[in-house]
Chains A and B, each alone.
Chain A
Amino acid sequence: MARVVVDVMPKEEILDPQGQAVANALPRQGFEGVSHVRQGKHFELEVADDVDDDTLERIAENFLANPVIEDWSVRRVES
């Protein structure tokens, strides 16, 4: 088994009101100096050893992310 991490983020040009809400809430709690927050998704997949990179890329592109509004990255991590 291998562990694969897929990170999905809203594209830079896509408004991220959730990230903005988080950023706006920080000063109210006394945390200063954070000017910008973007909120995305983090997936951890346990995959069989014979699942190749191409398959992982298709999982990310066709399902975990929506390429119209999101960017994504796929990486294998030490298990």
Chain B
Amino acid sequence: MSAAGASIGVITFPGSLDDGDARRAVRRAGATPVALWHADADLHGVDAVIVPGGFSYGDYLRCGAIAKFAPVMTEVLRAAEHGMPVLGVCNGFQVLCEAGLLPGALTRNAGLHYVCRDQWLRAENTTSTWTTRYEPGAELLIPVKHGEGRYVAEESTLDELEGEGRVLFRYVEDNPNGSSRDIAGVTDARGRVAGLMPHPEHAIDPLTGPTDDGLGMFLSALDTLVPA
């Protein structure tokens, strides 16, 4: 199977914003992007799924709280249970936490301000499906843009995440949202479901982003989907 033979679905909810860039990132990495619609309980045979950023269902109630009940999410939960790689970015990370695929929750930024800037991250876990292309400790420059990105969880959950090496990325230099232990992204116990607040899909091409540091996440997943 060639890389182009791998397909990655990108969900569009009402209010999604970054589905277009996520599909572009998938294409740039060499796979085929497949648009998935929130109301459609069908993953159309994709090999992996990306839940993109934006304001799904207007972020009413809580960010991601309504999106988790979308018909397509029922299918994502089922597929994830069987090991399908799933990536949630920003609002997608919030959706995956609300849906229980990832632990913790994202709350209002400590400084109350919406933060939009290029942010340095450090790769902590480089064995998950979405991060194998990074060197341990590598620093990446990737945009963040969110008002509710402060990662919180019970202390015991945070200890468990640290102990099992499930913190994917940490903010370096300046934590944009007051996130616990500077956590920018985490993965599930199997390393297949990943969520992060920064936007790797906005950093795949120096022409349109600060760097191409985000492309590694999509290439990492393709390595798994396309056995060498």
Contacts and interface: CB of A to CB of B under 8 A. Distances in A.
Interface stretch (A11-19, A28-36, A44-52): A11-19
Interface in B56-71: 61-62, 65
Contact of B111 (A10, A17, A66, A68): A17
Interface string A1-24: 000000000100011011001000
Do most interface residues of chain A lie in helix, strand or loop, or is the interface mixed?
mixed
Interface stretch (B102-110, B123-131, B186-194, B212-220): B102-110
A10 B178 CA distance: 16
Interface residues of A, number: 11
Do most interface residues of chain B lie in helix, strand or loop, or is the interface mixed?
loop
Nearest to B153: A68
A17 B105 contact: no
A14 B107 contact: yes
A63 B107 CA distance: 16
Contacts of A64: 61
A17 B108 contact: yes
A66 to B, nearest CB: 6
B79 interface: no
B65 A15 contact: no
B80 interface: no
Given A66-B65, A66-B98, A17 B152 contact: no
B104 A17 contact: no
Given A15-B107, A63-B65, A64-B61, A69 B152 contact: yes
A15 B110 contact: yes
Interface in B157-202: 178
B153 A17 contact: no
A68 B112 contact: no
Given A14-B152, A15-B178, A66 B105 contact: yes
B64 to A, nearest CB: 9
Given A17-B109, A63-B61, A68-B104, 18 more contacts: A14-B107, A14-B152, A15-B107, A15-B152, A15-B178, A17-B108, A17-B112, A18-B112, A64-B61, A66-B62, A66-B65, A66-B105, A68-B97, A68-B152, A68-B153, A68-B154, A69-B107, A69-B152
